[in-house]
Structure formats: C-alpha cells, structure tokens
Amino acid sequence: MDQTFRNPKPHLQQVDYIRAIASLAVALFHLGGKTLPVLKYGWLGVEMFFLLSGFIICWSLPEHYSWRMSGTFIGKRLLRIEPPYLVSVLMALLINLLGSRANHPGLIDVLCHIAYLNNFTGRPYLSPVYWTLGIEFQYYIFIAFCFPFLVKKWGVYLIPALCLLPAWFPFPGSTLGGVFSFFGLGIIYYFYLSGKKAWPELLIIGILVTAVCVFENGWLPASAGLLALGILALPLKGNRVVAFFSRISFSLYLTHDLVGSNWVVFIGSKLPKTIIYKALEFSSGILISVLFAFLFYKLVEEPCLKYAKRLIYPKP
C-alpha cells in the first residue's frame, strides 16, 4: 500500500496578485525609493508577504496534519527556499569581494547567513531583504510544531495571545514575535476559508489581532497587511502578467537589490544628474532586475520547486 498521500488544493488567483504586487513594491522601493518619493512606501510589501505567508503556509498543509509530518514540512520548505537563498548569498559575496569595501564578511558572517542567525546577533545581512527570510523561517518552525494546537477547538485563541506575548516578554533581535500579528491575520483567514472555525468567532479575534497589529507596528504597516487580506477576499480572475510576476516573485525579491540596485548605482555614476537620466537609471534597473529574476527562476528556483513537490507527506 502506498504510504504517502497527496492533498491537492485549488490554486488561488488572489495569491498571485499579492506576490506580484508585494515583490514589485519592494523592488521599486530599493531601486528608486530614495529618489522618487512616490516609491518610498514600497517597503510595505514586506508586511503583505508576512500576511500571505501566514495564510498560504497553512493552506498548503495536508488535512489531518500531525507532528510526525513536521520533518516532511520542514524538508519541503528547505528544498523550496534554501538553495535559491544560498545562491543569492554567493552572489552577494562575489559582488562584495569585487567591490571597494574595506571590510569584507568573514566566515562567521557567512555561517550566520546560512542559519539565519543575523536576526538574533545583530550582524548586518549582505542584502537588506534577508532579514525577512529569517522571520519566515521562524514561522515555518512555529507552524511545523504548533499547527496541531491551532486547529483544536480552542487553538484559535492562541493567536491573539501570541501577538501580545512580546509586550510582556520582549525578544532580542528581529524575531517572529514582533510581527506575528501579520501572520496571525493570515492564519485567521485560513480558518475562515477552510471552514474550520465559525466566522463570528474569527471576526472578533481578527479585530483584536488587527488592533494589536496597529499598536505594535503602526497604522501604515497594518494597512498594508489589511490590503493583502482584502486582496485575498476578492473574486479575482487569472491574468498572464500577474501570473508571470507571481512566478518570479521570490527570485525578484532575492536578487533585485544585488543586481538592479548595483546597476542603478553604477550607471548613475556615469550619467548626468538630471531627471531624464535618473528616469533612465531607474527604468533600466527595473528591467534588468526582472530579466535577471526570470533567468534566476528558470535556472535555480524552478528546479528546487520541482524537487520540493516530490517530497510527499506520509499518511496520517
């Protein structure tokens, strides 16, 4: 008898829209946020990603998920995320070595990158987006071992309690606790969409978690999270352009600062400081970032995605 099982779920078009919007927002911010004021809020795409992860990771789990499946879950996430991340770290190291910086990262810095320890040690990451991957990995570990508690009848009440936990027990560094309210809202929407909890109960808990999110993170990041939540709830149809940017969203997120930002700095040092040339720098930087992200997706990320799908959860 086959000892594994598959649990296919319908693809949600709304997820594509959030991935596309959030990744492009962050890329636009890093490439032109300091020059073009309209782009300075692009960093809010990170909060959209956090809420989406809160939802989609739970949505991707099989029915009757149990602790004995935690190894498979972590393995699938590592196969999916880690190789592209490590390749981008190698790219960052190469760019750093070829640059003119006097202080190059040492072995300890590299090891901290691999284990996402910079979130706790305060050591700077080679790319400004890597800290969020550390947060995401903490969330994977949390879900791997705590999801069986969350689906219990009383489990949903753990979400606001966990959101409030940093107020009494502050954690050092950049941790999941400080932004858990975004993930929590995504988990709540998962319970709603899957029909595992009654909507009046989820509405009350969602309002409480939103209030905590505004208090802990500010109204602007909270609004970005709620925007992602609103997109998840919309009856959106598939779009080829959105699907393309969704497909390369992780690759674009990983590489845009390494490739696009360095290109903008390089070409900016060669061109006159006028509005027209600044627009040329920015637009060429975005184009190069997208093209490189597509290449990175085909050569690095897509094979990892296929390997991750081959790892099947055992039967409960």
Type of residue at 134: G
**pLDDT digit of tens for each residue in the chain (316 aa)?**
344 445 567 889 999 999 999 999 999 999 986 667 778 899 999 999 999 999 999 999 998 899 999 999 999 999 999 999 999 999 998 888 877 555 567 778 788 888 898 888 878 888 889 999 999 999 999 999 999 999 998 999 999 999 998 877 777 668 898 999 999 999 999 999 998 888 899 999 999 999 999 999 999 999 999 999 999 999 999 999 999 999 999 999 999 999 999 898 888 888 888 888 788 888 999 999 999 999 999 999 999 999 999 999 988 7
Domain ranges within the chain, ordered by starting residue? 13-310
Of 140, 141, 122, 142, nearest to 131 by C-alpha is: 122
CA 133 centroid distance within chain: 6
102 alpha-carbon distance from chain centroid = 31
The whole-number pLDDT of residue 34 equals 66
pLDDT value, residue 1: 36
What spatial distance separates the first Cα and last Cα of the chain, rounded to whole Å? 14
Rounded to whole angstroms, what are the CA distances from 180 to 165, 185, 209, 225?
A: 10, 9, 9, 11
Question: Tell me, what's the pLDDT at 3?
Answer: 40
CA dihedral 151→308→296→130, nearest 10 degrees, is 40
Buried b (16+ CB within 10 A) or exposed e, 243-274: eebbbbbbbbbbbbbbbbbebbeebbeeeeee
pLDDT given for residue 234 in this prediction: 96
Q: What is the pLDDT of residue 5?
A: 46
Question: What's residue 88's pLDDT?
Answer: 96
Handedness of CA 196, 175, 43, 82 (dihedral sign): negative
